[in-house]
């Protein structure tokens, strides 16, 4: 009986015999930036922290690869490891951020993997981006006002409502998520609540009140937080939101909190 109890106790504590053995499950990080088009050829990669993660693996891959070689390590332009401290997110209060020296030019996909010691979770979804300007390529304005109450972001090919406060009152998360899901506007019925990466793609942190690019065409921007659809790992009751005052990102416990709601959908790619 004593032996059985000891074995059970060791299994509960883990091989180290400490509380660290209980924190081996690793959540999935969410890439935030770069997304869309960036002028920098050494961009800063940002992603959401994962609870208990001690290190992260950053993978950047050329988007133009044969499908049979997409998983090959040789196709990774960047394959780097960073501790949570090196990424500045050991406190888990803000985003993880790193700026590798490796230059990137062209179209890429990137992802991140969170690890607790040697135990790693599954890789994040890939986030596409283009780095550097192609010589001779036509220069498009960042935003195109389509004249029907919608705006196309030419950097990300996302379509936003021009009025960023169509639901005039702030909503709780579930209300906002459902409101976007069932919205029919400008002839489209596939609107949704934006992900953190999508919402963050609008932000220009050199601007304040609102923290949007100077040439943006949007109206009725609330100087408040806006909901994203991205949950903070591992608690589904905590959701990331972005401030339109200064671009700060926080995760909020969904307990009666009300934020702004800004619908988005995938827009047309070609503008004539």
- 271, 153 contact by CB (below 8 A): no
Instruction: Give 27's pLDDT tier (boundaries 50, 70, 90).
Output: confident
Task: Give residue for tokens 């790693």.
Answer: 120
Average pLDDT rounded to a whole number, residues 60-74: 64
From the CB of residue 220, how many other CB atoms can be counted at a distance below 10 Å? 12
Comparing CA positions, the residue from 231, 222, 223, 224 lying closest to residue 251 is 231
- Architecture of domain 143-266 in CATH? Roll (3.10)
Which pTM value belongs to this model?
Answer: 0.84
3-state secondary structure of 20: helix
Say which CATH architecture domain 26-131 belongs to: Sandwich (2.60)
Residue 13 has pLDDT above 70, yes or no: no
* Average pLDDT for 84-91: 96
Residue 73 clears pLDDT 70, i.e. is over it: no
Q: What is the pLDDT of residue 20?
A: 40
Neighbours of 144 (CB within 10 A): 17
Query: What pLDDT is recorded for position 138?
Result: 63
What confidence score (pLDDT) does residue 169 get? 80
Please tell me the distance from the alpha carbon of residue 122 to that of residue 70, in angstroms, as a whole number.
Answer: 17
pLDDT of residue 109: 97
CA distance 108 to 64: 8
Which pLDDT value is given to residue 5? Answer: 33
Mean pLDDT of the chain: 85
**What's the confidence (pLDDT) of residue 1?**
39
Calculate the CA 160 to chain-centre distance: 17
**What ranges do the domains of the chain cover?**
26-131, 143-266
pLDDT-above-70 percentage for the chain: 82
* pLDDT on residue 3: 37
If pLDDT is split at 50, 70 and 90, which confidence band does 132 have?
confident
pLDDT score of 71: 53
CB atoms inside a 10 Å sphere around CB 42:
13
The pLDDT of 181-185, averaged and rounded, is: 96
């Amino acid at each position: 009986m004593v032996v059985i109890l000891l074995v059970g106790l060791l299994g509960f504590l883990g091989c180290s015999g400490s509380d660290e053995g209980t924190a081996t499950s690793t959540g999935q990080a969410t890439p935030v930036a770069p997304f869309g088009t960036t002028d920098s050829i050494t961009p800063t990669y940002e992603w959401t922290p994962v609870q208990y993660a001690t290190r992260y693996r950053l993978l950047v891959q050329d988007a133009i690869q044969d499908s049979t070689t997409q998983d090959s390590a040789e196709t990774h332009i960047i394959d780097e490891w960073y501790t949570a401290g090196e990424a500045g997110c050991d406190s888990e209060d803000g985003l993880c951020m790193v700026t590798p020296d490796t230059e990137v030019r062209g179209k890429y996909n990137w992802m991140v993997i969170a690890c607790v010691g040697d135990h790693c979770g599954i890789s994040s979804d890939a986030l596409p981006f283009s780095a550097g300007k192609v010589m001779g390529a036509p220069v498009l304005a960042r935003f195109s006002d389509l004249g029907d109450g919608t705006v196309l972001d030419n950097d990300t090919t996302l379509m936003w409502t021009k009025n960023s406060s169509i639901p005039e009152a702030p909503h709780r998360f579930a209300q906002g998520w459902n409101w976007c899901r069932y919205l029919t506007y400008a002839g489209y019925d596939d609107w949704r609540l934006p992900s953190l990466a999508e919402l963050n793609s609008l932000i220009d942190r050199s601007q304040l009140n609102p923290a949007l690019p100077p040439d943006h065409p949007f109206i009725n921007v609330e100087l408040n937080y806006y909901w994203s659809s991205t949950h903070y790992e591992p608690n589904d009751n905590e959701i990331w939101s972005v401030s339109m005052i200064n671009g700060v990102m926080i995760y909020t416990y969904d307990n009666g909190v009300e934020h702004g709601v800004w619908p988005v959908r995938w827009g047309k790619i070609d503008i004539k």
